[in-house]
Amino acid sequence: MPIIGLGVWRMEGKSIRDLLINAIKIGYRHIDCAADYQNEAEVGEALTEAFQTGLVKREDLFITTKASGIANLKNSSYFLLWNSDHGHVLEACKDSLKKLRLDHLDLYLVHFPVATRHTGVGTTDSALDEDGVLDIDTTISLETTWHAMEDLVSTGLVRSIGISNYDIFLTRDCLAYSKVKPAVNQIETHPYFQRDSLVKFCQKHGICITAHTPLGGAAANTEWFGSVSCLDDPILKGLADKYNKTVAQIVLRWGIQRNTVVIPKSSKVERLEENFQVFDFELTKEDMDLIKGVDQKYRTNQPAKFWGIDLYA
């Protein structure tokens, strides 16, 4: 599984094609998608072009998608199961495969640890009740969902399965009832939200941590959640000066040296290049310890704003 990937959240239309083709030329081999991003079909078109023109082979790519939720591991695809599809795992998986123009996924993830009222495969709007609160389906357990995910491995539609946004206790439960262990837990983690206990727990049990929001959020997080970015932190800025790198490169390198996979997003080619230039230097142990001290236990991504309920309470 490539240690760095490209997220395609909030990318639309022709920009997706141009960005993906350029990203592949730069060296990206891990693409992180999701049905919730409502652009899987466009991603599929770009991937098909890349394959047909000989730019890259299918087996060279690691494609992650969260469709009604899915994600991806090295040399293939990985998906995330959306909240409203917990009772329709097979149908959701096939829908994402069709849009992405793929015949299998390398990794399929449960997007969030909550099942909601089914709104139709391929739809990703949050199911809210009349009070504007997430309409949770109490008839479907996470264990039931997981066993349906395991069936996808048996059929050959996916090679591996995993989880996303699970805390230690939910991860521990999944390990207890699973026949096929989760390969990945995709979570928010960055210098302001380091989550060492969860990261170490997962790694101890052979679960790879993939860091979404590895830079602590950008314009959308500021706009929607009023988030504060770690990219403005004075200590991180000082390290950027020391290594003659950008703050983003310092943060991504920190994530890589924690043995976590990082999937930053950018809609600018020059930023794609910058984010990929993190393999020509290494942070010292002293500087890694220095970054450990900036942790604020600050979550930037807050679904409660849209769901009317705090999933992490």
List, by residue number, the catalytic residues: 37
Q: State the first-to-last Cα distance of the chain, in angstroms, to the nearest integer.
A: 32
For residues 39 and 100, the answer to whether their CB atoms sit within 8 Å is no
**What are the structure tokens assigned to 126, written together?**
């949050």
Cα–Cα dist 193/190, whole Å: 5
- In our burial notation (b when 16+ CB lie closer than 10 A, e otherwise), range 289-304 reads ebbeeeeeebbbbbbe
86 is in an annotated binding site: no
For residues 81 and 108, the answer to whether their CB atoms sit within 8 Å is yes
Q: Which residues contact 64 (CB under 8 A, 6 or more apart)?
A: 5, 30, 31, 32, 33, 70, 71, 72, 73, 77, 78, 79, 80, 107, 109, 210, 263
For residues 228 and 192, the answer to whether their CB atoms sit within 8 Å is yes
Q: Which has the closest alpha carbon to 161: 171, 176, 151?
A: 151
Tokens 């984010």 belong to residue: 275
- In our burial notation (b when 16+ CB lie closer than 10 A, e otherwise), range 205-219 reads eebbbbbbbbbbbbe
For residues 62 and 2, the answer to whether their CB atoms sit within 8 Å is yes
Annotated binding site for substrate: 111
